[in-house]
Chains A and B, each alone.
Chain A
């Protein structure tokens, strides 16, 4: 058994980017079938256009159509493409100075072997048939044979936004102490750790006591019964919500622990939940247990008298 529990996680969102006028002008060009560069105050033609001039710092306002032909000024072979690159088989990235531009521009070059690329070679922009106004509307290809016909468009509405999906895969590891906690939950136990310096019991346990920085080691199983210190009633629906509002989200100070955990309170009308209410863990069926605090479905009232305010006031 490894020291830590780990599991894959994907962090993904389709970002909705507003481009502003300069990047928008460039992407509008791509959608319409032309590559547009921007002229700087020093007379350079830069692709994609710079949003602001490097010397005057003013927004770029002069645009120039460039390409579609150009010359490779540098290139690199991509032997093992990563997810979402323009090709999912080996290809080249190239810096290409398009005809009419003075500075090179980075994009993928559609070749199947490094032997097909060299600095100084002629390439051209190849437009996709279906274009949305994004950098992925084009790639470079060697200037061999007749180019495929590009349908140019005369659109009215400029591109003002672009959607950029960002999806990253990670292997997420819990800390060794958290791993012990999750393993305990998988056995129906709630396991904390005691700080050897301040003697406080942390649930879940931490790699170091947040108060004094001491690593915690001594495992302590805490009670499955505790006290609601404070709470809120969730009345609002939101993305990813699993329970129909209203319901109560509460800090529960388990007996034997020195820090409260945030969990759900069910089995009682939301309006009747009180600070000081005594509650107990209600577990999911054992067959559904995993390495998660979700094994505890919720907490519900024990029916015992409320805890005295003084017993939990220093946990607020």
Chain B
């Protein structure tokens, strides 16, 4: 049995900020939801079901907050699901929402993902001291920085490639009114001059901590017919592996490679670099752009990633524009960050990305990962209905 066609017809997001002190959690979610519904030309009452996603409950100090939010989100009297799959959750949540339509169960599904990091401290929430366990001695970037070093060693990358990514994404963010960081005048030189935090990761190469939300309206084929520019879902995939396993490849995890292979197959794509017009890839630390480019099959696994980045291939006018929205490096409401990638990909193929639109984008990748690079969620969306 084949999946029922499904399309994104509404995308909404908040203005992401370090602290959105003007809104409650419900208000934050509704800001994204109302924009998505307006985009879709729908009202909350028309929605069949709602899927909520966010990262750990300790961030906001509410256990299963979707329960108290249900009424404000318009979910009262409707089915409501809550997904939580670590940092990939925004992507996983969109995929679960899509599956409600692809399974033929519902026709109009609303999905929202959010994080209100200002309610607590993410560093605390992620590393609550536990008895017997050694306290975290390296801080937030300390987990990923060694793997970046491994990548640099394995691929013989020049050490300024991370700065190229950071400068590109921060400049892309200037074209995105919703982005958290609008740092004018960021250059490769200014990134290289920023403080080295977790060597080899510099301050300007790390993501901010944001409050924000993202919402999507995903509908069935007949409903999508009323939309002037639906983003058709060509493939979705989720893959997981262990956080720590003997000899696990932490630079290019097998779950990532498997996910990409399954995704391209589903979407009927044989040469991703030629067939994908732009990608929104989860890059919380600059070096993950070249790392994921290789893992996703956009470039060869022996340094093709950094070569592509260094050549300008991932810039707005490159062969594969990556993170035209400014990406996670410019806005990081953790639970929503994955859905933002998925939503920005949809905006691109709908021709609705505004100033950061890639001309003629017809197929785009939305990508999210989480934990210690062991959870992956990805989708491909296109301006044309999938033929398979």
Q: A residues bordering B, Cβ < 8 Å?
A: 5-9, 11, 13, 15-23, 50-52, 54, 57, 59, 160-161, 164, 166, 172, 174, 178, 182, 198, 200-202, 209-211, 229-236, 238-243, 246, 249-251, 258-259, 262-264, 270, 275, 291-294, 313-316
Beyond A11-B128, A13-B61, A316-B153, 15 extra complex contacts between A and B, CB < 8 Å: A16-B118, A16-B120, A17-B24, A19-B24, A20-B26, A54-B76, A172-B130, A200-B246, A200-B247, A202-B246, A232-B145, A232-B200, A234-B138, A234-B142, A294-B135
Q: How far is the CA of A74 from the CA of B180 in the complex (A)?
A: 47
Residue of B nearest to A276 (CB): B153
Question: What are 30 sample pairs from A and B whose C-beta atoms fall under 8 A apart?
Answer: A11-B58, A13-B124, A15-B61, A16-B118, A18-B20, A18-B22, A19-B24, A50-B72, A51-B27, A52-B26, A52-B30, A52-B72, A164-B61, A174-B132, A201-B246, A210-B243, A210-B244, A211-B245, A230-B153, A231-B149, A233-B196, A234-B139, A234-B197, A234-B198, A236-B141, A242-B137, A250-B146, A294-B134, A314-B247, A316-B154
Could you tell me the distance in whole angstroms from the C-beta of B24 to the nearest C-beta in chain A?
3
Check if B193 is an interface residue, CB within 8 A of chain A.
no
Cα-based distance from A162 to B4 in the complex (angstroms): 46
Q: Is B185 an interface residue (CB 8 A)?
A: no
Q: Do A232 and B142 form a contact, CB below 8 Å, given A15-B119, A17-B119?
A: yes
Taking the closest CB of chain B, its distance from the CB of A222, in whole angstroms, is 13
A259, B245: Cβ atoms closer than 8 Å: yes
The number of chain B residues touching the other chain, given as a range, is 35 or more
Chain B residues with CB under 8 Å of chain A are: 19-24, 26-27, 30, 43-45, 58, 60-61, 71-72, 74, 76, 116, 118-121, 123-125, 128-142, 145-150, 153-154, 195-201, 242-247, 249-251
Q: Are A16 and B27 in contact (CB under 8 A)?
A: no
Give the Cβ gap from A289 to chain B, nearest Cβ, in Å.
13
Contact A51 B26 (CB under 8 A): yes
| Distance from A261 Cβ to chain B, minimum over Cβ atoms (Å) | 9
Which residues of chain A are within 8 angstroms of B23 by Cβ–Cβ distance?
Answer: 18, 20
Known: A232-B201, A236-B198. A241 touches B137 (CB 8 A): yes
Q: How far is the CA of A215 from the CA of B139 in the complex (A)?
A: 32
The interface residues of chain B lying within 8 Å CB-to-CB of A262 are: 138
With beta carbons under 8 angstroms apart, the residue of A15, A52, A166, A259 that contacts B246 is A259
Give complex CA distance A262, B76 in Å: 47
- Decide yes or no: A15 and B139 within 8 Å by CB, A9-B129, A198-B246 being known contacts: no
Q: Collect the chain A residues with CB atoms within 8 Å of residue B27's CB.
A: 20-21, 51, 59
Is the Cβ of A241 less than 8 Å from the Cβ of B150? no
Q: Are B247 and A258 in contact (CB under 8 A)?
A: yes
CB distance from A199 to the nearest CB of B (A): 9
Question: Which chain B residue shows the least CB distance to A164?
Answer: B61
